[in-house]
Amino acid sequence: MPKPRVALIPTPVPNAFATGRSPKKATIAVTEGLMTKLNESEIEAVLGHELAHVLHRDTLVSAMAATIAGAISYLAYLGRWGIFLGRSRDERESTPLFAIMLSLILIPIAATLIRLAISRGREYKADEEGAKLTGRPIALSNALIKIRNSVLSLPPLPVNPGTVHLWIVNPLKGESLLELLSTHPSLEKRVFKLRKLANQMGVWDDKPIPLEYLKPRRLPWFL
């Protein structure tokens, strides 16, 4: 695999993400906040997560899924206009208008939900592959907790929902209530899966942060 470019973003908000449609074009970006909030093993684990995204071309996959979902939504929009402008009398009598309208509304919603489910699946896979790559599943779970709690301890960030996929954890509050509509799985599920993976690998590479600190704003000052 070609060595990806690395970019350092001068912001105190901890985050990391990968861009580029292929490993040859990839860039991994980390923020100054991430470099100061995490220890060395946690930074390595986060970089492993982002490398896994690069290896599996997740940026390209996500872009393709978003494009397809957008195209379906646009076709459904055109279809709704076509109902009123292009149906003959026989067609109106043979097919209930309500059924057609309902399908044209539900189809783009289903396409969006599928796209989001794909995104969540890629996050789980990047967690697993990144942890195996670095041998640091516990460090990655600790890093995710620290990043999420750090982000939520800040004043509300002006995050565009369209850029949430560029965050290693969901920066929007209420993620557990709206996981179905999120690009990221819940943090709790990611941490549990990583700790289960640590058991399977027989690798407890770091001292795990107690699960009680999965709740935001409760991370001790020394972490």
Catalytic positions, written as ranges? 50
Number of other CB atoms surrounding residue 161 within 10 Å:
11
Using only C-alpha atoms, what is the Rg of the chain? Answer: 21
**Residue 29 pairs with which residues in a beta bridge?**
7, 17
Whole-angstrom distance, CA of residue 56 vs CA of residue 47: 14
Whole-angstrom distance, CA of residue 15 vs CA of residue 141: 14
Helix or strand holding residue 8 (H, E): strand 5-9
Give 223's contacts (C-beta < 8 A, 6+ positions apart). 146, 209, 213
CB 138 within 8 Å of CB 195 = yes
How are strands ordered across the β-sheet holding 5-9?
5-9, 27-31, 16-19
